[in-house]
Amino acid sequence: MSSPVLSPLPPPEPKPPSYPPRGGSGMLASFLHAWNGLIHTVVHQRNMRVHLVSAVLVGLVGSGIPLGLAEKVTLIFCVLLIFFAEILNSALEHLVDLATRHFDEKARLTKDAAAAGVLVLALGTVVIFSAILVHNWDTVVSSGPRIARQVVLGVPLTLCVIGLVLPHPRPAWVDGVAFVMGALLLGMLALSSTSPVFTAMTGGLLVVAGAAAHQRRREARR
């Protein structure tokens, strides 16, 4: 009597790739992960750096010219919405690159559409910002000395932020000096600010720029 023919065993399924742990799942860890995502976007996305500098200019205008509550909320919302769109666009680009190993026309169209969404928001913000300035032109004209002070202190502050977010290699002490100088200039601007909210927003953007400079140096040492 012949023995039964045994069918070969199916090959084992490949194990899914293991990824390094994210370092916790609590509320504080979630905040740190989100912070790291923000800083990573500033470090690696040129458009995000442009948005960051533009937001500093908006903060200087908002803290130098007395605006109504609705106008302040509109400007802050526009800044946050552009940041959100750029971060989401960066995440989508990483996802497309991860899923597509070779050139794909649909992948290119996906990236272009996401970038177009950011562009539309940026152009809309410029239009809204211009409309607010035109609507409050009498206030702008009557705030000559205050605007002059914002320019004298705000331009060096903006240059400090630009120096922090530029990707060119430089010694650590240069970033330290730029951050300290920016903080001092911001403190002087806060003495006559018309909006503590815009001043705080500008300070937060300065902190983000400093953290991006620190992260860039850490990645360069790896």
Domain span including residue 180: 44-221
| Residue 13 resides in a domain | no
Q: Return the H-helix or E-strand segment holding 91.
A: helix 69-99
Q: Is residue 99 pLDDT above 70, yes or no?
A: yes
User: Within 13 Å and on the Cβ side, how many CA atoms surround 27?
Assistant: 0
User: Greater confidence, 63 or 15?
Assistant: 63
| Residue 33 resides in a domain | no
- pLDDT (average), residues 201-220: 94
Band of pLDDT at residue 18, cut at 50, 70 and 90: very low
Residue 147 falls in which region: left (phi positive, over 0), alpha (psi -120 to 50) or beta:
alpha
| Residue 34 resides in a domain | no
CA separation, residue 153 to residues 72, 85, 148, 196 (Å):
21, 30, 9, 16
Under a CB-based contact definition with an 8 Å cutoff, are residues 41 and 93 in contact? no
Band of pLDDT at residue 23, cut at 50, 70 and 90: low
Encode pLDDT of 134-159 as tens digits: 998 888 888 888 889 999 999 999 99
Q: Which two tokens stand for residue 83?
A: 């940041």
Residue 52: per-residue pLDDT: 97
Band of pLDDT at residue 21, cut at 50, 70 and 90: low
With a CB cutoff of 8 Å and minimum separation 6, the contacts of 203 are: 183, 186
Give the total number of structural domains in the chain. 1
Q: ∠ at Cα 147 (129, 130), nearest 5°? A: 15
